[in-house]
Structure 1
Amino acid sequence: MAVGQAVDMSLMDISKIFSLLQPKEDNEGNELSQALNNAVSSDNVIVLSKLLSQESYRRSINIRSGWGVPVTPLRTAATLGHLRCLELLLEHGAEVDSLDVKAQTPLFTAVSGKHLNCVVALLKAGADPNGSQHNNCSPVLTAAREGDADILQELLRFGAEVDVRPKVPDWASNATACRGPLYISAVYGHLDCFKLLLLHGTNPNYNCTDEKMLARIKQPKTVLDVCLHYGCGVEYIQLLIDFGADVYLPTVITDKTTKQNEALALLLKERVFPKPLMSQTRLAIRRSLPFANKEPAIDSLEIPLILRNYLKHNTYELAGCSS
């Protein structure tokens, strides 16, 4: 039954993609859309504004046009990072989550192009921070892979799923399907993104919250396992420990590199010595806060600033507070 449902979902996704590939009979609309696309491509806001002042062009604003992969004018603006054109299109009714033939939204292409201003403008206009359900990847996975912490921060601020994973049918699930943004940021060595994801409540153990999927995978690897395997520095191990990762889950296999030995020594030390009471208290308080928007929730607490900073894992911690 589950396989049948997965196949149905897969066929639905394929049907959606093919529907985007169907040629449109409205040749006049295609020509008008192409004119809009040309103005956007050259970042000519004056021409674009004049075109959009006409009703016929406004009606064609969401039509895909162009050679190869037909795209909407908004998709073109997001891809090229032309912010003024993008904002003008949104003001005149451009569909913020329109899809191209790859099931990519304008937000996804703006994230891929590292156009922070366009990302923020699209999110403020109501773009889905998780991208399209028909696309195997997502804006968060892309930002984590590219190490773009500023864009990742905005996506998470607007409610993007922090433990998002590649979209594959259940019957095709394997270890790859569990490789969420925390895993990716560790493998690619993006420490800022790694910490940012942890601050926003990502699962520090498996970076996957689907228990059924984990049950289907033989010996699923924890994020600690991954960090040790890829020789991530002690900073990654310390962060995982600080954010409550279970240090007894990883299978410890010694390696030859000094960096890995330092990380391993830290992990083994943590297994021997209990976590300080202050650290345990911080974990308990953070877990009791709303899953999203933890920082605003912490700021609202009526406690001294130094304690609020400690709850946010600021670098200076509580030095001088032990007396």
Structure 2
Amino acid sequence: MSLMDISKIFSLLQPKEEDEDNEQCRALNNAVSSNDAALLSQLLFQEDYRRSINARSGWGVPVTPLRTAAALGHLRCLELLLEHGAEIDSLDVKAQTPLFTAVSGKHLDCVIALLKAGADPNGSQYNNCSPVLTAAREGDVHVLRELLRFGAEVDVRPKVPDWASNATACRGPLYLSAVYGHFECFKLLLIHGANPNYNCTDEKMLARIKQPKTVLEVCLRYGCGVEYVQLLIDFGADVFLPTVIVDKTMKQNEALVLLLKERVHPRTLMSETRLAIRSNLCFSDKEPAIDRLDVPLILRNYLKHISSDFNV
């Protein structure tokens, strides 16, 4: 992050002098904190209060009323603020948007409301983390599904400066969902187009890292179940890419046996066809693209990796 970026953050986050003792803003925040939608509505119909809708107040960490509503999960208050023009992607002192706060609090209804109102599903460019990374780490598959449905980057990675690039920078959502054992999130990310080989798609970043780990290697190293490895194989992971050294630290489990078996048994023609079709769909989010294909439902389900009678 450049010095200019840092300066911009501080300029955005420092409260203006006229906002320091802004009684209107405090009143709005108090109404939201109490989840008093009726009082909030009355206040917002007054011009003085509407002018303070994006102001910050509070001890220690000043926040906007919208950020308070998102953090507490007070949906009706959040909707009222949006209806009266609250800035949807305003930043707090941590450069977190209201959406990020709602995701962190696992407030699904608020997440959906913010996304429908136009919130950036990727959060703030000034924050190292992102809503997708947070949802994948916490295993919140419902929130993750909504973020991806509204166009969030599926292979997002932590934002670190080039000089600090290391293996940590490649720990994206697919990596996190595997390490923390969130299989449904892991599957959802792959369905929405996550790279099955490296969790980082930035070639320059990969080139700076000595021996970058593939997702397959991560799954083996952390003892993920065989279902993780099978899913990666089904989504086209290169089984010859990871360096597999069978030693005492490597768990001799079904996952490793499956990987070694796949190296000598080619994929079925059906499986190769599915991979070819998915790779030629010119959309980052494959699901809606597949739904538009003029093919039988059983084939669409197969392309979306929904259980069917096909022998794969």
Contact 1:232 1:260 survives alignment (8 Å): no
1:46 CA drift (Å): 0.6
CA distance in 2, matches of 1:27, 1:210: 42
1:236 CA drift (Å): 0.3
Query: CA offsets, 1:38-97, max 9 Å, x none?
Result: 000000001000000100100100001110100000000000000000000000000000
Alignment of 1:215-254 (within 5 A): 215-254=207-246
Tell me the equivalent position of 1:98: 90
| 1:143 pairs with 2:135 | yes
Structure 2 gaps of 5+ residues are: none
Alignment of 1:172-251 (within 5 A): 172-251=164-243
* 2:255 corresponds to which of 260, 263, 272: 263
The letter of the residue matching 1:62 is: N
| 1:44 pairs with 2:36 | yes
| 1:114 pairs with 2:106 | yes
Contact 2:197 2:237 survives alignment (8 Å): yes
Between the two proteins, the alignment pairs up a number of residues equal to 312
* 1:145–1:211 CA distance, 2 compared to 1 (3 A): same
CA distance in 2, matches of 1:317, 1:36: 56
1:304 CA drift (Å): 1.4
1:317 CA drift (Å): 4.8
The letter of the residue matching 1:157 is: R
1:257 CA drift (Å): 8.6
CA distance in 1, matches of 2:299, 2:35: 48
* 1:23–1:89 CA distance, 2 compared to 1 (3 A): closer
Q: RMSD across aligned C-alpha pairs, in angstroms?
A: 1.6
Tell me the equivalent position of 2:53: 61
Tell me the equivalent position of 1:285: 277
The letter of the residue matching 2:165 is: S
CA distance in 2, matches of 1:23, 1:196: 40
Query: CA offsets, 1:130-187, max 9 Å, x none?
Result: 0000000000000000000010000000000000000011111001001110000000
Structure 1 gaps of 5+ residues are: 1-8
CA distance in 1, matches of 2:147, 2:82: 19
Question: Mean Cα displacement is larger for which, 255-264 or 175-184?
Answer: 255-264
* 1:164–1:42 CA distance, 2 compared to 1 (3 A): same
Tell me the equivalent position of 1:3: none
CA distance in 1, matches of 2:179, 2:142: 19
Query: CA offsets, 1:173-207, max 9 Å, x none?
Result: 00100111000000000000000000011111011
- SS of corresponding position for 2:128: coil
The letter of the residue matching 1:161 is: E
State percent identity of aligned pairs: 82
The letter of the residue matching 1:155 is: L
Runs of 4+ more than 6 Å apart: none
Instruction: Provide the TM-score with structure 1 as the length reference.
Output: 0.93
